[in-house]
Amino acid sequence: MINDESSDLALHPEIDDLHALVDGTLSDRQTVAFESHLNHCGFCQERLLDLAAQSSFHQELGSILTRADFSSSEDQDSDIMEVSQTDATTPFSVRTLSCLLDPSDDAAAMGRFDGYDVQRVIGVGGMGIVLKARDRSLDRYVAIKVLHEQFASRSISRKRFAQEAKAAAAVSHDNVIAIHGVSQWKGLLYLVMPCISGPSLQQHINQHAPLNLGDMLRIAIQVARGLSAAHDQGLVHRDVKPANILMPLGTDRVLLTDFGLARMINDADCTATGTLVGTPQYMSPEQVGDGPIDGRSDLFALGCVIVAMATGQPPFEADSTLAIIRKITDVPHQRLSDVRHDLPKWFVEIVDRLLEKAPDRRFADAAEVVEMLETCLAHLQQPESNPLPTVGRRSRHTVQWLVLGAAVIGALIATLPVLFIVTRSTLPQDDALESRLTTTPVPATSSPASATTVESSFDEHLLIEVEREVDWLQSEFERPFAATPIEASSR
Amino acid sequence: MTNPQTRKSLLLRLRDSDDHDAWTEFESLYRPLIAAMARRHGLQMADADDLTQTVLVTISQAISRFDVDPRRGQFRTWLKTIARRATINALTRRPIAIPLGGSSDAWLAELPDNDPQTDAMVKHYRREVFRLAAMRVKVEFASESWECFQQCAIEGMPAKEVARRLNRSIGSVYTARSRIVRRLREVVSELDIETET
């Protein structure tokens, strides 16, 4: 095709034809013909480029874009950057503060905020600013979340805000961040919370997704426990998302944060402006619609969080807020089993049920989810002594599968001493545990079926599936719940 | 369940009416741009999202008050100007300093400070516009065409050399380059007012 002189054009192409070439509306034959003319005609090469854009645009393009813009953009975007006092790229936060703060006699502090010595700015966002400060009276570090005047004053009464914040503060639970106090200073509403050092689940997902089943279960259980405690107090979170789940360093505990407050302000905003504030990616259909909201809305969000842990992305993604909302309300989620082939069916079904569009079809409440997930985690750790619960009301075939699966596991344990030895070698040498492993009757097989009959009554396929699960369980035992060594801000 | 008292977000109402085309179009165009600016400016993901949303909402409110005859061209120019201004202002000004009881988007009307920092931000913004446009356009073309464009237009390699490397004709390198440049120009001018003439 190079330098195909035979199809060369004697004359320069008409300007309209060049336009058509750029537009891609020429026939293949014409395109080839013009291109072969372009092979050697410098004049038409220039014409073509002029036609595409003015020379200033070509220049600008060359000076602005670099190869790196296309190759490593993802890495750049996922950088976790911390706002600090000396960070020259965020002059606004420092400027803001310097106007706001009282002088402090602590030389290391930026100034005083209502009696707290402010050490530095942890974060700045559309909602407000978060400060790390020292509480002198109790000699501890706290995080102070100051709400923008813009949010706090608009269409929501301070009294109601304070009431809600106090209700959130009343939830005392291991998996819910404590709120030390709610107050206002110089007309600004603020919350005082413990200063947590560790990444958010969002950051954890950015770095480690897809997470393994054990980690997902452990995190989901804690989130569900926190939700359950809050729901018991009549409080719906309304903004459960990975960015609102903190993972304090040096512990396996996770903490729910921003309870009720963020979305409450946003809701008030919606009333005033009819506009949704914040990403709707983790919102339930009833939340983006106009349905009444209760704790089951948070369960839907929990389902979204699990999907984000499993795949790195929330289940409903699109270019615009509107498109996301449409997906949330109208489009069934993609089943986890389509994306992750390693996840057991029961897990996929739990997520399916959390992501039911109709609240009535989800779990009844967070407590039920906790119980379900705990049983599953127990099963994961000790499959022989902990049968799986039934996930859905409608999933009859699941029950069958579980019964069969348990029977096969029983058969395997009874008939495959090799497998047993391998399993035992990965567990602590504990006699009690060992005897339990060997003597506990296998649930779901009421009559101790003889190995041969059980074996012959199941197909290869199922056996392979069970073996795979046992292999996987072993690897799970060997891998401790990884704490992430990311130094990041608390919120 | 749908009593008139219940709140209903504008975005849901949008599903039923088409008088907010501008807003949705605007949102899909600018959300990634503002978010990229915010992130590159050192905000963490969640905070960048918050800031983006604040800017979008503020502009959407301004749009609803844009009462000049909304002829397409005029509105477009206004929108590009306001989007750039709002983004730069939101990133360079103090978020809390919005006056008590004042209109929440008064700061939109303020011209960015005429100082080196603002100049830098304008350049920064332009760069994000180009980056975003390039990301969008890239997926529209075959990867070999994109390679042609990238090697000639961005890395400044002679067409002849690019053709040799990619085993294509020089003419087809020119076609690919001009197609992609034109498309980029369209997307860039959709997002931003021309900084140079």
Q: Which two tokens stand for residue B83?
A: 């989007």
Contact B53/A at CB under 8 A: yes
Q: With contact defined as beta carbons under 8 Å apart, do A73 and B131 qualify?
A: yes
Residues of chain A with pLDDT below 70 are 1-10, 68, 70-99, 123-128, 148-164, 259-279, 319-321, 391-491
pLDDT at B19 over 60: no
Q: With contact defined as beta carbons under 8 Å apart, do B55 and B105 qualify?
A: no
pLDDT tens-digit series, residues B180-191 = 999 999 889 888
| Whole-number pLDDT of residue B139 | 80
pLDDT tens-digit series, residues B110-163 = 555 566 667 777 888 888 899 888 988 888 888 889 999 999 998 888 999 999
Residue B165 makes CB contacts below 8 A (sequence gap 6+) with: B151
Q: Which of A39, A89, A321 sits opposite B171 (nearest CB)?
A: A39
Identify which of A349, A254, A350 has the alpha carbon closest to the alpha carbon of residue A299.
A350
Q: How far is CA A173 from CA A26, A169, A170, A177, A253, in A?
A: 68, 10, 9, 8, 12
| Whole-number pLDDT of residue A64 | 84
**DSSP-based three-state secondary structure for A254:** coil
Contact B157/A at CB under 8 A: no
B43: phi then psi, degrees, rounded to nearest 5: -85, 145
| Bridge partner residues of A143 (DSSP) | A132, A193
d(CA A422, CA A409): 15
Q: With contact defined as beta carbons under 8 Å apart, do A207 and A286 qualify?
A: no
Continuous H helices in A193-260: 201-208, 213-232
Contact B142/A at CB under 8 A: no
Q: What is the pTM of this model?
A: 0.47
A118: phi then psi, degrees, rounded to nearest 5: -80, 125
| Bridge partner residues of A185 (DSSP) | A188
| Whole-number pLDDT of residue A452 | 33
d(CA A176, CA A259): 8
pLDDT tens-digit series, residues A430-473 = 343 333 333 333 333 333 333 333 333 334 444 444 445 444 44
d(CA A489, CA A473): 34
Contact B164/A at CB under 8 A: no
d(CA A171, CA A226): 9
Selected for mutation to probe chain A from B63, B148, B151, B178 (highest A CB count within 10 Å) is B178
A258 noted as active-site residue: no
d(CA A335, CA B69): 48
| Whole-number pLDDT of residue B177 | 94
d(CA A386, CA A409): 12
Q: Which of A34, A56, A200 sits opposite B196 (nearest CB)?
A: A56
Q: Which of B11, B61, B171 sits opposite A38 (nearest CB)?
A: B171
A410: phi then psi, degrees, rounded to nearest 5: -60, -45
What DSSP element (H or E) covers B34?
Answer: helix B21-40
Q: What is the ipTM of this complex?
A: 0.76
